Chains A and B, each alone.
Chain A
Amino acid sequence: MGKGGHYSGGLSMRSFKEAFCLVAIAVVCGGIAYFIHPRAPSFGIDKLERQLEEVQGMAEVFWVDARADEDFERAHLDGAISLNIEHWEEQLVDFLDRWPPDATTIVYCSSLACMRSHEIVERLREELGIEEVYVLKGGWESLLEAGIVEEGGS
């Protein structure tokens, strides 16, 4: 064990306490960020997700592509419309024109890790009050893996 600010060899009690202090500060700051940060992620994101197999068993599905415009133009699922966070206002008009209220709306973006589709689903639920709207878990990647779409076209 060192003296003063000296190096303290192994994982001494002092080092442990200092590490605990740093972790505690980070946890408190993270907790505050959860409540006040405008882009803080929310818990329970998996409740918004549906597996491809579940979606394939649904009676009527309305597909929404939340990827960027250039990706949509390059390839998209047949019948899907584009609705992304960059052009929410403009594309929402088209969405409302074509949205069938009896269908389940499924939103996809690029992959399992892509959060754009979650944001679109949350906005459709909060701003339009649509309840039957979910994220396709795995997004475009899961459609590719299932052979439903191809990289260059749907």
Chain B
Amino acid sequence: MIVFHVNGKEQRVDVTPDTPLLWVLRETLGLTGSKFGCGEGLCGACTVHIDGRAQRSCITQVGDVQGKKVVTIEGIPENHPVKTAWLAQEASQCGYCQPGQIMSAVALLAQKPRPTDTDIDSAMSGNLCRCGTYGRIRRAIHAASGKASPKGGKRS
């Protein structure tokens, strides 16, 4: 039995410890907001926060999050400045990569409330978007800059 916290709630899952966290979130816990894109940590669609840091859940074994705090897109409040900025900038197109993008952006702003373009490049370049929403994501991050709660959303 692996015990960890997801979006503030304790979860106990009975799966083999080598199962990627992504599939535990999606299939065991029904939290399908985190997406499968590559399975190799190359695209960022599966990005979640583990103890406050943006991580690729597709290459994180669930056994390694024992006792840790995981936040997924479902745990980011609707009124979070990053979500608000995403809406205002109409950042989404197909939308598939956006939960991962948002999780990376929330983590970035929690760490650097006023990121430069270079900071954005370095924090966000592991999150691929086939639709080409990068310009809008950059604008949304700048718009949310200085507004994000220091904790970057509900972490509990």
Q: Is B a genuine binding partner of A?
A: no
Contacts from A to B (Cβ < 8 Å): none
